[in-house]
Chains A and B, each alone.
Chain A
């Protein structure tokens, strides 16, 4: 008998990532790294104007260039059946007509892909792509949100929201009202968008894809090419960062698929860094106005929040910009409206905390401004207006430890030592400031399916189509399975990242753990039940006739509660004469979820130093206190908070997609000019995980963690900058120029 000596794993343990070794040795394969037999290379030619039509395209030179196998344009592209339908392949998620690659001569935005050059080497494809000559008929374009606010439309959803009296803040004893701007942020994952497409037969395709959602990828390709589910496989176990940018079908996928159809060989398309800025989504800029009024004691009376985002001319991409405002604080009167300015740009897409991140900058900056107007501590103001149920819908919270976040965060940070007066703290040439902000983000759960197999060696295999783009989902699902099954990590294997595996929702919206984790939990629980039934009911079983409730699962074996007889999983299968035992389970939240409001919460505390001469802002330290329910893995959870904080530093201080509106074209679309935080920009970050179970959302007690620490974070920095300098910057990013002007 095999001895299960390896350590029993529990939910919460700070395990190393299960795929870690593949990543640190360079063996993890990303979408463009399969080097398939006969693979060819596709390079996109993109438009250099923002609006108009292609008058003529000369592809002769490119076609004749060495190694070129095909040049595909709207003139000769294979037909895409899905493009003929009047409905969007996207269905319900984005309203409108999706972008159709190589469909006609219309130019909707700069950097629109207009041709694909396929060649036998990457260098040759690049060279030939530079030989495609295009003439345009240009039309006047509009790419500037500020100059086009009067063109704003009310999107198909969400509806305007109000409770109580409209604009009640106006009559409050103390009030502030200001405008806040946030810029374009580009996800810029380290791996640019990439796809390798292989037609296995005329009606069967495999894509090695960069996607956060293998099932969505599969479904959208099925719709576009009118293919059966079993004939479309999206394979995506490793994704080099996504942050929302790989959650729908994009041009590089369509291009690789069309290219492979034309040349009859696998085609690999990898976007160049400059191409990702205006082709595969970005965080839209915002223009917002927030008015808040309170009693002299600091009780909120009314909030009015108006926000404008942008979208393309062909789709309505909407964000949850108003969501934090609706639910964050107890406030009887509130009205919020959200508008979209259609511009000659590509459609934006979900970007870490999509809407909440921009909206919370305005809300949490305004709360800070109100605190100063009230002559009140900003933390006390927030605690005073704590909402003990969700004010948006009066539902009880599924769980809410925001007060714990405030308390523990403030203690760890030393908030009490803060001199409330702006410009009162200094360290040499540096002005020192401390700021804080609250955050709230939806914690929901979606349908997911998982398969669990007990294998002859006594190990457990669990499968789901879910992606793991970096949060550590594969690790925590292995961990949940091991915990439930009583197996060691070595005897528990999780397979993910392929559309042929059981259904999983996309890895976005901070609902992967709750959704897929529940399916893993449920399927393992079901597998145990099956083992138990078989063990006590079947002849020849050494546990035959025992009470089912008396069966205990531990160390990859079963035994009776007070008994000494223990049966390993592998011996169990042998006794049952089964090669393996398999269970599939679908899991969703059920009606209980509708009776509660599920949210994650956080409180961020930030210390900055601002150089008194140069206006340089350095984030000196950060304490991020997060209520994300029960923590599944303290190591990966902490990393998620780090990630969100680094994003917050980037958005607050440096990131900005700049467009020269004369040309409607990005001018800083590379990683030297578009600044993302580097090692030197990131200080020590202290993470406090409240780690208390949510009793409603899922059986593990988890809530989402990937996005919540970013909500409000940019405001915490802006608030600290105000405290340091006395200057309120309401227009991100907070660059030195804004502080010394």
Chain B
């Protein structure tokens, strides 16, 4: 690859946020104090402080979940989706955002073995659950047979829908919904591919279903 080094410049995003949270609170307090005498109507400071307390409650809910075999104790905002958590805070960018509305399937992950759209799942609702993303599908250097089959059958072009297609495909077989081409097509229709790799994706799934993916 042209520039692999750049991708490693990663700072744990959560710390960064914390820093800015603190900055903001300090700023609010200081500016409130400074301007309190001259500008702030009585009671304003109390409201600000009350808001902060409410914010704090809402801004940091503790949640424990297992992601790709690792237990994670996290502090999250209740509005945070699993997708944004994965992508923006845990640097698990293999799970893609295509629409953010549950319409494209690019963010498909497994929660307790079932495929879901991570963009429609709040993190706080995943307490205690086991989440598998594309990064956790392979066993070390050994790829999952579905990953091998996608490469062999060219089940992608741009690659952006691919992690979602693969996660969905694995679940599709596990659910028992891969017994014919027609059935695969029906049960994979929640995963859009704009490049049109559909015929190859179906071939890959059929092959894994039938037990052979070497090649």
Residues in chain A within 8 A of chain B (CB atoms): 16-17, 19-30, 33-39, 41, 66-67, 120-123, 187-192, 208, 235, 237-243, 270, 272-273, 463, 469-472, 495-498, 501, 635-636, 638-640, 642-647, 670-672, 676-680, 682, 684-685
Q: Interface size class for chain B?
A: 35 or more
Interface pair A273/B159, CB less than 8 Å apart: no
CB-based contact A645/B151 at 8 Å: no
- Tell me the nearest residue of chain B to A273, going by C-beta: B99
CB <8 Å contact, A34 and B6: yes
Contact of B158 among A191, A192, A496, A501 (CB under 8 A): A191
Q: Does B61 contact A (CB under 8 A)?
A: no
Q: Knowing A24-B166, A26-B133, A123-B84 are in contact, say whether A501-B197 is a contact too (CB < 8 A).
A: no
Least distance between A461 CB and chain B CB atoms (Å): 11
Q: How far is the CA of A684 from the CA of B133 in the complex (A)?
A: 30
In the bound complex, residues from chain A placing their C-beta under 8 Å from that of B197 are 639, 642-643
Q: A25-B143, A678-B190 are in contact. List 9 more A-B contacts (CB 8 A).
A: A25-B137, A190-B106, A190-B193, A191-B98, A237-B1, A671-B103, A679-B193, A682-B198, A684-B181
Q: Which residues of B contact A (CB under 8 A)?
A: 1-3, 6-7, 9-11, 13, 16-17, 20-21, 24, 55, 59, 77, 79-80, 84, 87-88, 91-101, 103-104, 106, 133-135, 137-138, 143, 147, 150-152, 154, 156-163, 166, 181, 184-186, 188-202
Min CB distance A644 to B, Å, is 7
When the two chains form their complex, are residues A471 and B84 in contact, meaning their CB atoms are under 8 A apart? no
Q: Are B199 and A684 in contact (CB under 8 A)?
A: yes
A-side contacts of B191, CB under 8 Å: 678-679
Most buried by B among A16, A26, A495, A497: A26
A123: chain B residues at CB < 8 Å are 77, 79-80, 84
| In the complex, chain B residues whose CB is within 8 Å of the CB of A30 | 93, 96, 160
Distance between Cα atoms of A732 and B24 in the complex (Å): 53
- Residues of A with C-beta under 8 A to B99: 273, 670-671
Least Cβ distance of A318 to chain B in Å? 25
12 A-B pairs, CB-CB below 8 angstroms? A30-B96, A33-B93, A66-B59, A243-B194, A470-B195, A498-B2, A639-B195, A642-B197, A646-B195, A677-B196, A682-B185, A684-B181
Q: How far is the CB of B37 from chain A (nearest CB, A)?
A: 20
Are B150 and A679 within 8 A (Cβ)? no
CA distance A240 to B94 in the complex (A): 12
Q: Are the CB atoms of A235 and B3 closer together than 8 Å?
A: yes
If A26-B134, A642-B197 touch, does A120 touch B20 (CB 8 Å cutoff)?
Answer: yes
In this complex, what residue of B is CB-closest to A268?
B88
- The answer to whether A273 touches B100 (Cβ under 8 A) is yes
Supposing A25-B143, A191-B96, A272-B100 touch, asked if A36 and B9 sit within 8 A by C-beta, the answer is yes
B55 near A33 with CB under 8 A, answer: no
A273 adjacent to B101 (CB under 8 Å): yes
CB of A189 within 8 A of CB of B194, answer: yes
List the B residue with the shortest CB-CB distance to A243: B194
Of B80, B163, B186, B194, most A-chain CB atoms within 10 Å: B194
Residue of A66, A273, A501 near B21 (CB, 8 A) is A66
Query: Is A35 within 8 A of B97, CB to CB?
Result: no
Bound CA–CA A638/B163 (angstroms): 22
Most buried by B among A24, A35, A208: A24
B98–A190 CB distance below 8 A: yes
Is A120's CB under 8 angstroms from B3's CB? no
